[in-house]
Amino acid sequence: MQTELINPDFIHDGKYFNCYGTYNQPKYIIDYLMKLTCKAKSPIPAIIPGFFPKTDARSLYIGKTRFERGDLMVIIGKKGEVAFAEHLKDRFTADIEKRILFVEIEENNVNWNFKNMKPEFANFEILNNKLERKMKSSTKLIIPTTKLRNFYTSLSELRLRTETQLCIAEDINRNDNYNQLITFYEESRRHFEKYDNKSEKFLSEAPRKKSFQGKISITRTQDVISLFENSNNLITIENDSNYNFEYIAREVSTIRTTKAEFDTGESGKSSGLGGIDFIGWNQTKNLPIIGEIKLGNDKNPFYAIIQLLTYLSELTTPNQIQRIINTELFGKNFLVNKESSFYLYLVLSDLSIKQNEILKAAKDIAQHLKKPNISDIEEIVFFKIDPNSNVISKT
């Protein structure tokens, strides 16, 4: 169909559009559009009970109360998403169908289509369900960034020396300053409660690299994981069997989320990377374990406590507990009640003199953080692994 430019300065909602009209369209159609976009004052609400019962319709006509023969119906929406309720079907006459202007909204422009538009009718309950599913599939989940997450990230990105972190740890132990760390945990946990991703697994289903088989020399985190996996996932604590545990998985991200972004506006693509070094199950008390491994020049025990506090605050919200159950992260025996809590395990080896100093401060902090001060923490336990014999003992 041949077209010509009618008015290059067509304005709608403060934006300029090129308006095209066909040769066989009446001139008054463009006049209506000009009234709609350029000359009319603010639209006045009007009721059209004959056509839109119980609906507040916006109209250019002051006092308009019914849809008449000479009127033009303007419908604004996306192609394929415009429909009328089924109970209005008998109100559409042939005359009305001939006088429909469909303003089709696309991503980058607006098309003005004046034609014999055949109205579509829909069951709105079904339509709403479809729209809700579409919105859920296209909407990005927001991952909250809590105080503890920021504190943990700052300790890493500022590259603070062990001496500096030792001073921070000692200050936390001074007087009742540890209460502020407990407050950080409680506020972070509440902040993270808005996050809802109950159906997605914590672990990717992509195959993971197999552990090294044979004699293991402990120099890296992966070496400790290999030791766990080569022990049939049943780990014995040499000097205290109460802390024996079943190893379950490694590198578990508490915030793994597809189609997500952080509340800072940053992409959430990194949400599935890294995470808890390992998770397990304490066989004595039948409680879940989240654990960190720190070897040699790796981060120190105080840093590891902040890491584990951050992860725990992101695991123990109602939504995340339900996610744990739904995805069987800790197996089918994971039960939750008011007494439920987590063990925090820190596995250490080959610490420097300064790191051993900070270990003492970290142990003092750990005593302040467990039950009853933080009900989610059964106990924070420190272990040393002998790099030669591979024996693990409580320290």
Would you state the pLDDT for residue 251?
A: 94
DSSP string, 300-365: -HHHHHHHHHHHHHTTSSHHHHHHHHHHTTT-TT----TT--EEEEEEEES--HHHHHHHHHHHHH
Would you state the pLDDT for residue 117?
A: 63
Q: 7 φ, ψ to 5°?
A: -150, 110
Helix (H, G, I), strand (E, B) or coil at 240: coil
Q: Are residues 123 and 154 in the same domain?
A: no
Would you state the pLDDT for residue 42?
A: 45
Q: Are residues 195 and 301 in the same domain?
A: yes
Number of domains in the chain: 2
CB-neighbour burial class of residue 287 (10 A; exposed 0-12, middle 13-18, buried 19+): buried
Q: CA-CA distances (angstroms) from residue 100 to 34, 51, 57, 116?
A: 16, 14, 15, 7
Domain final position from 87, 106, 138: 138
Please tell me the pTM assigned to this model: 0.66
Q: 63 φ, ψ to 5°?
A: 80, 10
CB atoms within 10 A of CB 161: 10
Q: Are residues 29 and 129 in the same domain?
A: yes
Q: Which domain holds residue 23?
A: 3-138
Would you state the pLDDT for residue 171?
A: 95
Q: Are residues 91 and 179 in the same domain?
A: no
Would you state the pLDDT for residue 299?
A: 79
Q: What is the pLDDT of residues 316-351, one digit of tens each?
A: 999 999 999 999 999 887 776 556 799 999 999 988
Q: Are residues 221 and 337 in the same domain?
A: yes
Give residues with Cβ within 8 angstroms of 179, minimum separation 6: none
Would you state the pLDDT for residue 358?
A: 92
Q: Are residues 56 and 166 in the same domain?
A: no
Q: Are residues 110 and 241 in the same domain?
A: no
Q: Are residues 153 and 68 in the same domain?
A: no
Which amino acid type is present at position 134?
K
**Residues of the chain below pLDDT 50:** 1-30, 32, 36-65
Q: Are residues 10 and 147 in the same domain?
A: no
Residue where the block lists tokens 């790191």: 355
Q: Are residues 119 and 187 in the same domain?
A: no
* 144, 263 contact by CB (below 8 A): yes
Domain final position from 85, 106, 138: 138
Would you state the pLDDT for residue 92?
A: 73
Q: CA-CA distances (angstroms) from residue 213 to 20, 203, 229, 277?
A: 73, 23, 9, 20
Domain final position from 104, 121, 138: 138
d(CA 149, CA 188): 8
Would you state the pLDDT for residue 52?
A: 40
Q: Are residues 37 and 123 in the same domain?
A: yes
Which amino acid type is present at position 278?
F
d(CA 33, CA 29): 6
Q: Are residues 198 and 53 in the same domain?
A: no
Residue where the block lists tokens 């920021």: 150
